[in-house]
Structures are given as structure tokens and as C-alpha cells.
Amino acid sequence: GDSVTQMEGPVTLSEEAFLTINCTYTATGYPSLFWYVQYPGEGLQLLLKATKADDKGSNKGFEATYRKETTSFHLEKGSVQVSDSAVYFCALSDRGGGYQKVTFGIGTKLQVIP
Amino acid sequence: GAVVSQHPSRVICKSGTSVKIECRSLDFQATTMFWYRQFPKKSLMLMATSNEGSKATYEQGVEKDKFLINHASLTLSTLTVTSAHPEDSSFYICSAREATGGNQPQHFGDGTRLSIL
């Protein structure tokens, strides 16, 4: 079945540091890939997405590139801010399943200190 | 952008009480909504898929009689936790996909923190 693997964290960085959160996946079909962010006490917000190989999703300074050859979708940001502190979930939905189900990674907690 | 409203945001009640959580898509129609449960420091676990006008599809291990789902319209799905017990305490999150076909991302509500005393 489909699965998503990401580093559990927490990841602690100083403000303006470079961020990488690794995500790899396994899927039976041709998945679309997503990064969601969850701020404390809130639901999930879609951060960015990519629907096919070599696509780059970007939003709010975050980027992730759909790498089919390495089955990866690593999240990066060049300079993090304290306001980026949250839990980040890598996820996929599989075309084979009509994109109905979303499979989530375990979530990576990011803490940015001033 | 697409907005999903979930209500209430927090519930504290006694053991044995039934609790209803509402999930509304505010500016789009959703033929399918999803209910997740999130345990502390864990990822989201899909509980069931709610289909407008038909029965919900439950994931393996989720009790249908315990977690009643009703999807009466294209903008509203409800989850009722019947006879709740302390082990049902959790963070419940709903999501919805726009009924436009194709690969639309899911939009999430802000979640409901359920605490059973």
C-alpha cells in the first residue's frame, strides 16, 4: 500500500537558518504530493503541492520538488522565521484511488528560536 | 480559497455522553468529506469517508456504531461519538474535497479537541 516516511523531529533551528525536512514515499500508482502545515491547536493547511514528476511546489518561501527517481518530496526554506514553528506533514494521494484517500507521514515538528 | 469550518473547536463532557461534531464547506460543494483522528505526537488516522447521500465508508478497526457519520448535504457532514468514554478523547479533524473532479487537494477544518472526563 501507499506510505509516506518523514523525519519525526523535533527539528530546532535558529531564525534565518536553512530548513530541510526529508520526505520519501511509496505508492502503487502516480501520486500527487503535498505538504501540509499544522499550527498549534489548529487543523491542517495546505502549504504546497506537486502533481507530477519534476514539478516544484512553492508557497511562503517553502519549496519542494517531486523527484520520481528518488521517490522524494523534500521540503526546503532558505531562511526560517519564528512564525514557521509548526508541525509539517508530507502526504500523498494516489491517482489509482481516484485521489480519494490521503496518506500522511508522521509529521515533523519544527521549532524556530529567535 | 476553499474554507472548511468545523464546530465545536473544543468539547469537554462526561463519560457516556454523545457528542456531535459538524464539518461544513463554506464556499464550495463537497460530495466527499473525510474524518480523521489525531493522537498526541502521531499522524492523522483516517476514520471514515463520508459520501453525500449515502453511507459512510469506514476504515478497518473503526466502529461504525461508535462513530456515526451523516452527510446530509453537499456542504455538511456530522460525526457523532456515541456514549463517549475517556479513551475517545482525541483531536478530530474533518476535511473536504471540492466536487469538481480531478485531483483537488483536501481542505481541512481547524479540528475539534474532545475531552471525556
Chain B partners within 8 Å of A49 (Cβ):
105
Q: Please report the pLDDT score of residue B98 as a whole number.
A: 77
What residues of A are in contact with residue B34 (Cβ under 8 Å)? Answer: 102
Q: Is the pLDDT of residue A100 over 80?
A: no
Percentage, residues of chain B above pLDDT 70: 94
Please check the confidence at residue A84 and state whether its pLDDT lies above 90.
yes
Percent of chain A with pLDDT over 90: 68
Whether residue A45 and residue B108 make contact (CB cut-off 8 A), yes or no, is: yes
A46 contacts B111? CB cut-off 8 A = no
Q: Find residues 15-44 of chain B whose CB sits inside 8 Å of chain A.
A: 32, 34, 42-44
Grid coordinates given for A37: 502545515
- Do the beta carbons of residue B79 and residue B35 sit within 8 Å? yes
Using the Cβ of A62 and the Cβ atoms of chain B, whether some distance falls under 8 Å is answered with no
The whole-number pLDDT of residue A40 equals 84
C-alpha B33/C-alpha B23 separation (Å) is 8
- Residue A48 has a pLDDT of 95
Question: A101 falls in which pLDDT band (50, 70, 90)?
Answer: confident
Which positions in chain B touch A95 (Cβ < 8 Å)? 103
Span B57-112, pLDDT tens digits? 999 999 999 999 998 888 999 999 999 999 999 999 999 987 666 667 788 898 99
Mutation target to probe the B interface, by most B beta carbons within 10 A, among A99, A103, A108 is: A99
Q: Is the pLDDT of residue A49 over 60?
A: yes
- The residue among B22, B103, B107 with the most chain A CBs within 10 A of its CB, best to mutate, is B103
Q: Cα dist. B89→A39, A101, B68, B78, B117 in Å? A: 20, 24, 16, 17, 9
Interface test with B, best of A23, A100, A103, A111 (most B CBs within 10 A): A100
Q: What is the mean pLDDT of residues B1-21?
A: 92
The position carrying cell 449515502 is B54
- DSSP code per residue over chain B: ---EEEE-SEEEE-TT--EEEEEEESSS--SEEEEEEE-TTS-EEEEEEEETTS--EEPTT--TTTEEEEEEETTEEEEEETT--GGG-EEEEEEEE-TT-SSPPPEE---EEEEE-
Which pLDDT value is given to residue B103? Answer: 64
Q: Is the pLDDT of residue A39 over 60?
A: yes
The average confidence (pLDDT) of chain A is 91
The answer to whether residue B97 neighbours chain A at the CB level (below 8 Å) is yes
pLDDT at residue A96, rounded to an integer: 56
**φ and ψ of A95, to 5 deg:** -60, -35
pLDDT at residue number A99 = 53
